[in-house]
Structure formats: structure tokens, C-alpha cells
Structure 1
Amino acid sequence: MNLTKRRARLAAATLAAVTAVGGLAACGNDDDNTSAEGGKPAKLVVDTFGEMGYDELVKQYEQQTGIKVELRKTAQLREYRPKLVRYLATGKGAADVTALEEGILNEFKANPRNWADLAPLIDDHSKEYLPWKWELGKAPDGRLIGLPTDVGSLAVCYRKDLFQAAGLPTERDQVSALWPDWNGFHQTGQKYKQATGKGFIDSITAVSNGVLFQQGSDLFYDKENNVIAKDSPAVKAAWDTATSMVDISAKAETWSPAWNAGFKQGTFAATFCPSWMLGIVEENSGEGNKGKWDVAAVPGGGGNWGGSWLAVPEQSQHQKEAAKLAEFLTNATSQVAAFKATGPLPTNLEALKNEEFLNYTNEYFSGAPTGKIFGESVAKIEPVHLGPKHQAVKENAFEPAMRAFENGRASKDQAWEQFTKDAETQGAF
């Protein structure tokens, strides 16, 4: 047995042992949650990361049911995952409804005992969502542990005013025509850099995400969940394309304070936008930049970066009510409302056909027909195989190595060697 396989089995055993504690320990969270009249819980807690568009929806649910909903948001997935690991390991602290992102889904559904089976708690919705998205919400034993929320269809968000200042086209169709492929995107960035002296794209890791998630193949793992990072054609394509664009990068690390401020300050002119990113761009850019942003096509066609499910931890003391809340947040009407609020793209088939969704235009992004732009790409999305430690490999091996090269701390070859070494460790344990 090779080192990767030995470590993978050890990792699986360790995760099972740790998370099994959660299934055996006392259930429920520490929050005061006395029953309201009629036996209903006084409060349900929902854990999310980023912006999922639930602020107004939970208010509606409170009015309809009389149950208070506490929405606990964590900005970054890298901060969200350790909290969830701790909740499951200790058997306490988890929300009643928990969002699971695709990058961590396989890790956490490996032990189904941590999650309530939703099938007996709600109506049958198996025919109402993108089929592959629905199936991914099932645990290895077939139990339904996650209801589909969104997918992350790709586009490019760009600053029209900065494009104009650089002498580039500004209308979205003309901008899309600038980059039918990645070479065209690079050339556009070089023209921008030459005209302004500023970085065109926020970072090369943003480029790598754009390329990586349009490959439609195995990424860091093969189908048997062996780490194949150094031999993966998809990973190598993302690495080579991204590192070639270091000359047009503003070197603003995604989620960093510099990145957050860069939207408002015009540090960069473009970034890659899965649909859920629209709300983050708007929040970071502020009201003063309304109408300066627009949305264009991604180089090389579509792609899917991100997407989540809502699950109910076994430790919840109110599994039936929590399942009903998850059902409400993921129904067709709610998915359209969430999309209009912050951009997460529906996976509910009725929502994708909804005229309100299809005709929606985003005022902040210069009236871009985001319903049409993102909606038309959904049918082209295919699931990408993500192994059990995908997020750890991506965030703790792939992106740090890429940033080391971007910031001059390592040559391209040295950075690649470091990545392949770290990928074995991060992917296996």
C-alpha cells in the first residue's frame, strides 16, 4: 500500500473516531431553547458561511411559525470548518440547521451518524432539483442528509469605469468577446496593466479557481479518493494558466483585508464571480460603486465553483422542526429570493424556470440580466469529483504554494514541488 493510501485510511479512521463522539455525546446546543406554546421550539439556530441570502427569509419563517431563528454567519469556509469539527467531536454547539459546502461535504458525510436522515422528516422532493445535486446530498448508506441550496456558475465581475480609463470596451457583450479563451483574458489584462500600471485581476489564485472548476474531471483525488495532485491534468492546467498571469495580478489574497478593500479602492479591475460572489462584491465595494460593476462571460465557457446543502446534525434537539426550516429555505420561492438578495444560483428546477428569476436584473451590476446570464449556464454544469479533504488541499497546499510564487518567495518549480509535497499531507490527514 502506498503512502497516500495508508494516510487516507488513517485519516478516514481518525475522522470516524472523532466524529463518532458527536453521535454518542449529549445532543443539542448550549443555547437556551425552551419550548414555546404547542411544543414548538422557541428558537432554531442556522449556521452558514459567506452570504447565502437568508436574512429576510428567516424573518418570514419567524412570522409564519412563531419560531425565532438565529442566523449565525461565518465569513470564510476556512474558519467555518474547524468550528463544525469541534461541534461534532464534542456533541454540542452545532446549529439545528448546518450548511455544508461542496468542498467539505464528502468529509462530513463520511460518518452519517452525525446527521439526521431528512427523508422521513419532510415531503419527497427528489424530483424537484438538479438530479446530480440531489444525489450528492445523500450519505454513503443512502440516507438523505443534505437538501440542495445553490451551484456556483462562473462569470467575470469587472469595473466598467476602470476599463474605460484603460481604453477598453465597457459593454458586457464586447467585454465577453475580449476573452473567448484564457489567452485572450491574459492579453486583455496586459493591455490594462500597460495603460494603468495597476493589476488587472485580484490574484492568480482567483484565476486558478476559474480554470480548475471548469475541467469537469478529477481534481486533487481520483475516484478511489487517492491523492493525485501532482498527476492531475486538471490541477496542472489550473496551475500553469494561473501562474502565467502573475504579471497582471494585483496580489490581493482572496478574503484578506487587502482584497476586501481592493473592491472599493479599485486595486484591481476584474475578479471571477460564481453567482454567490455577487453579494460579496457588492458588500465590499459599497454603495458608492453601484453601477460601476458589470458581469461578463468567463473565459473558456462555463464552470461550477461552489454550492452547498443544508443538513440537520443528529445532536439537534428539534430535528423535525429543523428539517422543516431547511425545507423552507431550499424551496423554489426561497431560492429565487436568496438569489435576488445575494446571488446564490438556484438548483430547484421550478426556481430555474421562474419568470421572476429569469427576468431578474441586478441594479448594482449596471442592470446586468444575472438571472439570464447564470440561469442559461446551469444545464451545462456537471459535477466535479471532490475528495474527502479537497478544501484542505486547496487552501493549505495549492493556494499557499501559488501565493509563494506570486509574491516572489519561491520560483515556479519550487512552489510546485512544495504544493505536491503538502498535498500528500493535507489530503491524507
Structure 2
Amino acid sequence: MSVTTRRTRLAAAALAAITAIGGLAACGKDDDKPAAGEKPTKLVVDTFSEFGYDELVKQYEKDTGIKVELRKTAQLSEYRPKLVRYLATGKGAADVTALEEGILNEFKTNPRNWVDLNPLIADHSKEYLPWKWELGKSQDGRLVGLPTDVGSLAVCYRKDLFQAAGLPTERDQVSALWPDWKGFHDAGLKYKQGSGGKAFVDSITAVSNGVMFQGNGDLFYDKENNIIADTSPAVKNAWDTATSMVDISAKTSTWSPEWSGGFKQGTFAVTFCPSWMLGIVSDNSGPANKGKWDVAAVPGGGGNWGGSWLAVPEQSKYPKEAAKLAEYLTNAKSQVDAFKLKGPLPTNLEALKNEAFLSYTNEYFSNAPTGKIFGESVAKIQPTHLGPKHQAVKENAFEPALRAFENGQADKAKAWEQFTKDAKTQGAF
């Protein structure tokens, strides 16, 4: 039996077990099913990070009379275990559930956990980036998720800190500092010298994400979903580039309290900003730092870090209404409004051509033309193959090993050895 065949059978067995457990739980809830034609008084939406839905759901409530509860989880690493538990027990899931690209493949392998959206909504297949739409479908053709955003890359930087360190502050001049990753490191060294030794970038794990999601090659898995973490050129390049930046890093783990506080305190001067990160940066930095941030090009000329879909779990008592809510949250107008509020970059083709999107400037980020900056990069984005346990390998093997090196707990060779060992465990399925 080949490794691939064995993994496929193991995956099928595991998913069957989850389905069976979920089925048993669902059987116990038959009495809770709504009467035919009964409308919901409330629908629940689960998201992680920031999707920009706060104002949209208020309008939806006015239009439909249905209350919408937004359940936000700050970190994807906390979100995924909740989702696993909901699917395994057959209860607790929201009516509409966000699936990030790193976990989409893992969860859509068992489409029986998800409502097929095809018969519940209009045909929108020609309205989105083609590759984004296709990724929302299961192998048997079921429409599991409706596209939300993509994570076109840029660099967010503090103009005031750059100025104090003697670096240029205008976004075109800043972009010119780092045409490649060596230029980024050189700029960091100049900043460190000019600022009296302050750190330049938030962490080397942030650097690794910027590098890793610029390539179109396989990352932790090959196309047959075999683990190739220790031989992947894209992963090794991200590792080598990130570890070379340790001397300009603030060593703040992304999503940690130190990282969140670092935005206000000026602990670091730059961070990597997929479009969806803009809302997080502004929220963490607070009103006092409005106008101090700006947006520049990423070294190496673009990339795609992140992006999601909205799905409806089979557990939902109101799948038709939930599907309509997901449809509303992902339509062209809603994607533009969400972008303007918190930054998630549209994937709806009409939204990407919308003048309100293209001409949008972000007041918090020094009136940066974020619609133009991020919108122009969308056509260049190519899908990256992410295996079924990509997020687990990244968050539980790759990044911990990077942090071990960054914090002096292991030398580079030992840290790499730790990663390749843990990747096999985390990536098994």
C-alpha cells in the first residue's frame, strides 16, 4: 500500500468517525427542528480575526427582521479546534461559518458536514475570481463555500518612526528601499542604527509568511498531499530568509499580548499586511496613532497570504436562510463595504471594478490609496496548493521552530530539525 493510499484510507476512516459522531448528536436533536416554513429569529456567524461584517449585519437585520450574532475569535489557532469540536459532536456550530484557506481543504474533504449551497442560492459562478470560486467546491461538485477575500500582500510601516531613524517616509520611496528581501534587511539595519538599536520588524515568523506566500510552488504538501516539509524549496527559502532577519526582529509572537501592544508602543516599525490585516493594525494601534501608519509594497513584488469562504454547516436548523445570509455577506456591495471598514480584499469581480473600491483611500493609513494598491495586485495572484493540515503544520511545527531559533532556545540547525520532525506529526491525517 502506498503512503498516499494509506493516508487517504486513514483520512476516510477519521472523517467517517466524525460524521458518525455528528450523526448521533444530530439524531438526539430531531425534536429541536423548526416546523416547516418557520423563520429564524436569529442566525449566528462564526469568524476569526476581522471580516468587516459589523455594519453589514445591522443592515441585514433591518431588511429581514432576523437578528445576526457575530461570534469572533481573534486567532485562527483558537478557531480551528472549536470547529473540530462542533463537527465531531454535531452541535455548537454557527449557521454561517468562515473557512480560511489553510483549513478549507481539511474540512471540505467531508462535504457531508456542509450544506450544498447550489440549490439554495442563485448561480454566482461567473461573478468571482475563477480559481477562488473553484476552491470553494468539494471533489463531488458540491458548493461548500462562497468566496470572501484574498490576502494580497503589502508592508505597513510607521512613518514617524522611519523619520526619527533617518529613513524616507513617502510610500514610493519606502517601497524603493526593498525591491527584494536583501533590501528589506538592509533597510532594517539602517533603521536599527538610526533609532539607537530599536527593532525593525515584529517577528521572523511574519517575514516567513511574507516570503512563503509569494511562491506558486508546493509548500508543506505536494499535489498528492504527501508531506514534503523537509524538501520543499518554497519552505526552505522562507526559512532561510526569515532566520536571516533575526537581528532586526522585535521577537514578538503574532497575536500575543506583546505583539498587540507593540503597535501602540512602537516596539517595531513594520509588519507584513495582507489586506485583511489593515483593520487589525488600526485596532491595535488605536486612535492616537492614526496618520502615523502608511502602506508600501512588499519585497519581491506581491503575494497572497490568507483568504476565506463562508460555509453553512449541516447542523444549521435554517440552512436556506443561512445560505441567503452568506450570499448577502459575499455580494459585490458587501465586499466593498467590508473592505472599506476593515480591509478584507474583494474577490467579487464587480466589486473589484467598483469605483468606490478603486478610489478608496484609508484615512488611518495616511490616506493611502489602498483600493488601488491592493486592487492592482489581485490579477497577479495565483492559487497556492495548501494540503489538508497546512495550518496545523504552519502553526504547530514551522512557527514554533522559528520562534525557538529567534529566542535563542535552539540554533538554526536544531530548530530546522525540530520543525521537520514536528511537521510529520502535525501533517499526518
Provide the TM-score with structure 1 as the length reference. Answer: 0.96
Alignment partner, residue 60 of structure 1: 59
Count of aligned residue pairs for this structure pair: 427
Alignment partner, residue 210 of structure 1: 210
- How far apart are residue 195 of structure 1 and its match? 1.6
- How far apart are residue 78 of structure 1 and its match? 0.5
The gaps in structure 1 that reach 5 residues or longer are none
| Contact 1:28 1:91 (8 Å CA) reproduced | no
Q: 1:112 to 1:231 in 2, by over 3 A?
A: same
Distance 1:179 1:207 in 2: 13
Distance 2:362 2:28 in 1: 40
SS at structure 2 position matched to 1:306:
strand
Please tell me the residue identity of whatever aligns with 2:139.
Answer: P
Alignment partner, residue 143 of structure 1: 142
| Contact 1:389 1:426 (8 Å CA) reproduced | yes
Alignment partner, residue 274 of structure 2: 274
CA offsets, 1:93-138, max 9 Å, x none?
1100000000000010010000000000000000000000000000
Distance 1:155 1:418 in 2: 30
CA offsets, 1:381-428, max 9 Å, x none?
000000000000000000000000000000000000110010001000
Alignment partner, residue 164 of structure 1: 163
Alignment partner, residue 403 of structure 2: 403
Distance 1:401 1:4 in 2: 26
CA offsets, 1:244-295, max 9 Å, x none?
0000000010000000000000000000000000000000000000000000
| Contact 2:293 2:364 (8 Å CA) reproduced | yes
- How far apart are residue 12 of structure 1 and its match? 4.6
Distance 1:34 1:112 in 2: 23
CA offsets, 1:216-237, max 9 Å, x none?
1110000000000000000000
Alignment partner, residue 123 of structure 2: 124
Instruction: Tell whether 2:304 aligns with 1:304.
Output: yes
| Contact 2:43 2:322 (8 Å CA) reproduced | yes
SS at structure 1 position matched to 2:295:
strand
Q: 1:168 to 1:12 in 2, by over 3 A?
A: farther
Alignment partner, residue 236 of structure 1: 236
| Aligned positions of 1:89-128 closer than 5 A | 89-128=88-127
Alignment partner, residue 21 of structure 1: 21
| Contact 2:4 2:224 (8 Å CA) reproduced | no
Q: In percent, how many aligned pairs have the same letter?
A: 84
Please tell me the residue identity of whatever aligns with 1:73.
Answer: K
| Contact 1:278 1:343 (8 Å CA) reproduced | yes
Instruction: Tell whether 2:354 aligns with 1:345.
Output: no
Distance 2:8 2:408 in 1: 33
Alignment partner, residue 248 of structure 1: 248
Distance 1:402 1:203 in 2: 10
| Contact 1:220 1:235 (8 Å CA) reproduced | yes
Please tell me the residue identity of whatever aligns with 2:138.
Answer: A
Please tell me the residue identity of whatever aligns with 2:96.
Answer: V
SS at structure 2 position matched to 1:229:
coil
SS at structure 1 position matched to 2:169:
coil
- How far apart are residue 2 of structure 1 and its match? 6.8
Please tell me the residue identity of whatever aligns with 1:283.
Answer: D
| Contact 2:4 2:225 (8 Å CA) reproduced | no
Please tell me the residue identity of whatever aligns with 1:353.
Answer: K
- How far apart are residue 39 of structure 1 and its match? 2.8
| Contact 2:106 2:389 (8 Å CA) reproduced | yes
- How far apart are residue 315 of structure 1 and its match? 1.0
- How far apart are residue 319 of structure 1 and its match? 0.3
Provide the TM-score with structure 2 as the length reference. Answer: 0.96
Distance 1:109 1:103 in 2: 11
Q: 1:346 to 1:415 in 2, by over 3 A?
A: same
Distance 2:150 2:138 in 1: 19
Distance 1:370 1:179 in 2: 19
CA offsets, 1:139-170, max 9 Å, x none?
11110010000000000000000000000000
The gaps in structure 2 that reach 5 residues or longer are none
- How far apart are residue 40 of structure 1 and its match? 1.4
Q: 1:12 to 1:39 in 2, by over 3 A?
A: closer
Q: 1:62 to 1:189 in 2, by over 3 A?
A: same
- How far apart are residue 194 of structure 1 and its match? 1.3
Please tell me the residue identity of whatever aligns with 1:159.
Answer: R
- How far apart are residue 33 of structure 1 and its match? 9.8
Please tell me the residue identity of whatever aligns with 1:136.
Answer: L
Q: 1:287 to 1:27 in 2, by over 3 A?
A: farther
Distance 1:125 1:245 in 2: 44
Please tell me the residue identity of whatever aligns with 1:262.
Answer: G
